[in-house]
Amino acid sequence: MKKFLVFSLVLTLVLTSFALVGYAKEVVFKYATGQETMCFDPALHRDETQSANVFNLYDPLFYPVRGGAPIPWLVESYKVSDDGKVYTFKLKKGVKFHDGTEMTAEDVAFSMLRMIKINQGFSWLWKGIVDPEKIEVLDKYTVKFVLNKPYGPFIATLVQFHVVNKDLLMKNKKPGDWGEYGDFGMAYLQDHDAGSGPFTLEKVQLGDRLTLKKFDGYFKGFKENSPDVVNWLVVPEKATYVAMLKKGEVDMIDQWLSPENFKDLAKTKGVVVQEDPNVQLFFLQMNNKKKPLDDVNVRKAISYAFDYKVAVNDIFKGGKQAEGPVPILMPGHAKDVTVYHKDLKKAKEYLAKSKYSKAELKNMELTYVYVNSLDLERKIGLLLANDLAQIGLKVKIKGETWSRITQLAKSPDTTPHFTAIFHTAKYPSPDSHTYLMYNKHAWGTYISMSWYDNPKVDELTEKARQTIDVNERYKLYEEVQRIVTADAASLYIVNPLHRIAFRDWVKDYNYVGILGYDLEFDHLKIEK
């Protein structure tokens, strides 16, 4: 009997210990968004939601730091040649892909080859600059990029370059357009991942939900109470996922709510609304090739007719009026640009100088297009229509899907007169808000819907890109900012606040300010 009691006690202790250690409660994090786009292929991602998918599954060569230069991530050290064309990267050893194999220089070279050949996503950052045939694998952990020409922002752009598992994709390739590479594993990555990031893709229902699982072999490790599992939920109705957050059914929701929604959420017990100055520009691209916006005087008239104070204070409920195309908080922002303010007298004077008669202008209807799910953009359209009516211009407001808007951007004929754009920094350089918005080589993208044509700006932005010295490069970008604001190339409205809402048990949320990076969930701690 005594032996039985001892045995029972030992068994109880063992089982209890096993339960505590082997069956520790999983930390589950639930995120809800109204955006249905999903992407698990780093050669394809474009918007914030797709980028957030990728950044949780893959690692970049360099990682962004808010307000500063990016830091090496997969890179141990690197060298740049004096002429700015040769970059040699020494990789960190021991970085594991999700299948347990080690990342090597071969994977890095293959990832850039794949990016350039597929020619989608962020490939435009390196197209014509990086020739995949000139990428050299020097040894297992060393890779050399020989650029076609000097490219000052190259390191900054590498925050958007994520490394894939070459062997895994080649094992799962299907017939495709790239010879021996088949489809480069694109079909496989529709519902799998090939990364080394903090999470693996566990389950996916495209456009509906996905499950991410912590990768125990992650080279950076994890903090205590970081999520073991992430459930990403697509909830089309904003009112529904707002209610879910209030009830504690989800832990965090996306940023695409109105300021009024966030104000209401901030009053809810147990909900935190975090506000951060945003490295973002909200502006209206004006189609400089469409009548009457092909006349600089009309664009200036519009810039003086618009009420920025109402937009910033009453619609956005905070932030700062934009001072040109480069956000105020971004390095390289020029402080001496033309900043417009509402002045109807000046607006009418500029309109009178235009090549179009008052009768011609009266008979024109200017189209304003916005994302139909964003009420804030709709309100900006109403404000624009009201303000321009005061100088005799008519505006038609039309909501479209984002995919439709990007299709319209393919030619000046289909691009509307005004398009509402949130331009979040894609990489930490003013290049993203100068070259990409106004150099003619960027025409046809949603960022460059102004169809602005100025040889001097083309020359300056090209020269800036080939300038290695950061201070000299920024001087060139600053000159571009002075020119485009003097030309009223776009309607620069606000550098808004970034707002996001989560339950108070979510800790260590960090807004980075580069597209998608603030939704990398391994940084969080869940303390219920």
Torsional sign, CA 199, 200, 202, 206:
positive
What pLDDT sits at residue 11? Answer: 46
* CA 2 centroid distance within chain: 68
Omega before 70 within 30 of 0, i.e. cis: no
What pLDDT sits at residue 69? Answer: 84
What pLDDT sits at residue 17? Answer: 47
Distance CA 198, CA 228 (A): 10
- Distance set, CA 319 to CA 123, 279, 304 (Å): 32, 11, 20
Q: Which amino acid is at 420?
A: A
| Sequential pLDDT tens for the chain (528 residues) | 544 444 444 444 444 444 444 456 899 999 999 988 899 999 999 888 899 999 999 999 999 988 778 999 999 999 999 999 999 999 999 999 999 999 999 999 999 999 999 999 999 899 899 999 899 999 999 999 999 999 999 999 999 999 999 999 999 999 999 999 999 999 999 999 999 999 999 999 998 999 999 999 999 999 999 999 999 999 999 999 999 999 999 999 999 898 999 999 999 999 999 999 988 999 999 999 999 999 999 999 999 999 999 999 999 999 999 999 999 988 899 999 999 999 999 999 999 999 999 999 999 999 999 999 889 999 999 999 999 999 999 999 999 998 899 899 999 999 999 999 999 888 999 998 999 899 998 888 778 899 999 999 999 999 999 998 989 999 999 999 999 999 999 999 999 999 999 999 999 999 988 888 989 999 999 998
Distance CA 99, CA 107 (A): 14
Distance CA 527, CA 333 (A): 39
Region of residue 84 (left: phi > 0; alpha: psi -120 to 50; beta: else): left
DSSP code string of 305-319: HS-HHIIIIIIS-S-
Strand partners, 503: 271
* Three-class secondary structure of residue 371 per DSSP: strand
Structural domains for the chain: 28-32+198-275+499-526 (3.40.190.10), 59-181 (3.90.76.10), 280-495 (3.10.105.10)
What pLDDT sits at residue 424? Answer: 87
- Distance set, CA 226 to CA 100, 203, 238, 506, 518 (Å): 21, 20, 27, 10, 15
Vertex 475 angle, CA 472 and 478, to 5°: 155
Vertex 234 angle, CA 233 and 239, to 5°: 105
Q: Which backbone phi and psi does 193 adopt, to 5 degrees?
A: -125, 165
Distance CA 515, CA 528 (A): 29
Torsion of the alpha carbons at 91, 220, 41 and 190, rounded to the nearest 10: 140
Vertex 279 angle, CA 276 and 282, to 5°: 105
Vertex 333 angle, CA 508 and 78, to 5°: 65
pTM, rounded to two decimals: 0.86
DSSP code string of 487-523: TT-EEEEEE-EEEEEEETTEE------STTGGG-GGG
